[in-house]
Structure formats: structure tokens, C-alpha cells
Structure 1
Amino acid sequence: MTHSNEELFECTELAGIVWQTSQEQSVVQSLSRQCPYCGHFTAHRGTNVHFDNVSCFESRHGTTRLIITQHLCSNPACQELSLSADWWTADNTVNPEKLTAVLGHWSLRPSSRARPQPEYIPLALRQDYEEACKIAALSPKAAATLARRCLQGMIRDFHGIEKRRLVDAIEALHGVVAPEVWAAIDAVRKIGNIGAHMESDINLVIDVDEDEANLLIELVEQLFAEWYVSRHQRAQRMKAITEAAAVKETARQGQQPQAPSQPPAGTKSTGSPSEV
């Protein structure tokens, strides 16, 4: 769900924030997202979004401000509070003051970008995914390794492919998944190997950055949805159709005339009535 610039500016005016360029509206634009706890989309207004503009000491970074943002989920069944902080440089030579460049971003609550996953996804997979999300910024290589491990577990659990080496398990997926999905899965293996295995030349340093780690995590999320969630939803739909048909059949049987157990006195039995 997206909102107009006017709606976004309406929220930021509460904190006296002025953005210098459209690119620097990223903090506000990021508010137009799903609740990290329940996945509900919230139309942000002043009633469920609050900013605090905190002045910081003058430092070698110049004039800076800490913008603390609170998001209240509008889902009555959730009502969770999310907190984040963004550290900005500011131009105080103009009035009103303008934020000019972001120096850092921290998700305070929840502590990572992990999305809630349904319980029918195996716990071990959910734990690897959640841990990868938590450390993606601190150690992208470790996050990539966890994404690789999670992927191997998914292939074994969902597709029943039990190979000792991930490369062999992925090879067995040929023709089972779409070519572009297969290529992406193999890319996770290759990037994850950087974190899992040291190069033969220890002086050769190949790093994994945070954006790359997040791409791997996004693939895990996509496969959770396409494999586990889709299978569960399909099973639920089939069950609902079967149950609906059973109810109709029961109602139909209940409306049919039943043959008497014995013919009335003085009459001759003609047998069971024919079924319509």
C-alpha cells in the first residue's frame, strides 16, 4: 500500500522534519509497510505514527539529529508497537532546519526484519531464517551461510531430496522447479559457500555485503510462500470444497423419501422406490 507525498509529509510535520530531496523521504516511505508482527497493512496517519526529533551533540559529523519513529499496528488483533531510529545530518543554517543525509538506521523493535512465518513450516527452518535476519547487518557472510543451510533443509523437507552435499541436492531439483528458481537457488549455494568455506588461498578475501545477504533471505521468504504457504492454502481450499460437497450430499439424502420398512396392511409390496 502506498501513500501520497502529502499524506507522508503530514506525519513528518509532527516532528518538524523537512526533507531536502525526495530520496531523503526514505524514512517516511518505509513506514508504508506491513506490520512486522502480523503482516497487516496500515494506512499511516498521525494517530498511529509518531516522530521524535532529538538534537545530538555537535561532533565531527557536524549537526546531527536522531529521528525516533513509532509505528502502532492498526490491526485490532495485533496492536503491536514497532520502534526504529535514524541518525541524520542536518542543515541548521536554514529555517526550518533540513535533514540532509542519513548516517545510520536501527530497528529497535522488532530487532530484525524477520517476518512472522506460519507454524506449519518446520521450526528448524524458521529458526535459521530468523537468525539470518538478525545478523544480516552485523555479519552478512554468516547470514548467507544460514540462508544456505535453511535452503538445504527446505529441499530435504519439502521435496524429499536427501543428498549429503547441497550441490547434489540442487542438481536433483533440475526439472522440478522453474529454471529461474533453480538458478537463484544455486546462487544461494555459491554465495553461502563464501561464508561456509575459506578460500584455498587465505589471502584471497571475497566478501558478502548486507544487500547480498538480504537478497538470499528474500529468496528464502519467497520459497516459504511458494512452497509451504501455497501448499497449505491449496490443501485448505480442497478441504473446504470437499466439506461443502459433503454437506450438500447430506442435505440431498435427507430430502429423499425413505421406503417404509413394511408395506401397509392389505397392500402388496412393490419394492424400494427407484432413485431419481
Structure 2
Amino acid sequence: MAPPVVPEAIARDYNEGAFVLDRSPRASAALARRCLEQVLEGYLSATGSDLKKQIDSVKEKVPENVYRGLHGLRTIGNFSVHLNKDTNTGQIVDVEPEEAEWTLEVLDLLFDFLFVAPARAQERIDGVNSKLKASGKPLIE
């Protein structure tokens, strides 16, 4: 389940992706990719004509491990929505269950960075501010 602070439309796709993970890793990875697109456009002001360029445009806005994970998510998501063939065997490259699971883990990292950690920090500051206010001291801004 997506944390409660994740915006509803994104959480809905994430939760659906988690729900179908065991039944269809490909569908799960496609939903994770959709979540990524929503976050990039709606919360990171990504720019670029394709998903790779959009991820590259937010490199300085997210931690390095998240940035690299986003490219991994993009790649696995592409395997789920585009026809890719193995150059040696000619077989379609498909999404493995552990790869689809990792796409959700990458989203967990992104959600923690963008939504969960800031909300947790604000809760702590609000608690301290409550005490400061009660004691007549200046609040933390």
C-alpha cells in the first residue's frame, strides 16, 4: 500500500501495481512506470520529450540512488509496454517478477523522499512549535 501522504491518483496506480504483481509482473511494471510519469510531471517539474530526458532533467533534485533507480524503473517499464527482442535469440524480453517488485521499491524510495520524509519532518516541527507557542517562544518557520 502506498503511504497515506502520497497523492490519491498516484497511490491508486501504485496500489493496483502491487495488487497485480504476483499475477502479472508486466502489468505491475507498467503501472509503476505510469506512477513515475505522474510524479515527474506533477511534483518534480520534469522537462523533456521522453521519459529518459524527463528523468535526466530532475537529476539534481533527487538523491543519486533514487535517480539511478528511476532509470531502472523506466527501463523495466519499457520492457512491459514496448516490444523488445533479445538480439541473440529473437525472443521477446519480458519483465520478471523480481524486476517488477523492484520498480515498486524504487517508487517507495521516491515517495519517501518527496512525500513521507517531508510530512514526518513537518509533524515533528508542528509538535515542537506547539510547545514553543505554549511557552511564549518564537516558532520554527
TM-score > 0.5, shorter chain as reference: yes
In structure 2, distance between residues paired with 1:245 and 1:124: 37
* TM-score, length of structure 1 as denominator length: 0.44
Where 1:153 maps in the other structure, the secondary structure is helix
Dislocated runs of 4+, deviation >6 Å = none
Specify the code of the residue in structure 2 equivalent to 1:246.
K
Distance 2:121 2:115 in 1: 10
Pick from 39, 43, 46 the counterpart of residue 154 of structure 1.
39
Distance change in 2, residues 1:163/1:241 (3 Å): farther
Aligned counterparts of 1:244 and 1:159: Cα–Cα separation in 2: 34
1:104-119 matches, within 5 Å, as 115=1, 117-118=3-4
Q: Does 1:211 align with 2:61?
A: no
On the 8 A contact 2:48/2:54 being kept in 1, the answer is yes
CA contact (8 A) 2:79 2:95 kept: yes
Asked if residue 141 in structure 1 is aligned to residue 18 in structure 2, the reply is no
Which residue is equivalent to 1:236? 123
Aligned to 1:22: none
Please name the residue that 1:185 is paired with.
70
What per-residue deviation string (whole Å, max 9, x for no partner) do you get for residues 27-52 of structure 1? xxxxxxxxxxxxxxxxxxxxxxxxxx
- Structure 1's unaligned 5+ residue stretches are 1-114, 251-276
Q: By how many angstroms is 1:222 displaced?
A: 2.7
Q: Please give the secondary structure, in 1, of the residue aligned with 2:95.
A: coil
Alpha-carbon shift at residue 159 of structure 1 (Å): 2.0
Q: CA RMSD in A?
A: 2.2
The answer to whether the 8 Å contact 2:37/2:51 transfers is: yes
1:235 maps to amino acid = Q
Q: Per the alignment, do residues 184 and 116 of structure 1 end up closer, same or farther by CA in structure 2, a change over 3 Å counting? A: closer
* Stretches of structure 2 lacking an aligned partner (at least 5 in a row): none
Which residue number in structure 2 is paired with residue 223 of structure 1? 110
Number of aligned residue pairs: give it: 134
**In 1, Cα distance between the equivalents of 2:47 and 2:129?**
33
1:124 aligns with 2:18: no
**Distance in 2 of aligned mates of 1:138 and 1:166:** 26
Task: Give 1 or 2: higher helix fraction.
Answer: 2
Structure with the bigger percentage of strand: 1
Tell me which amino acid in the other structure corresponds to 2:7: P
Superposed displacement of residue 233, structure 1 = 1.0
Distance, in Å, in 2 between the alignment partners of 1:235 and 1:140 is 36
Residue identity (%): 26
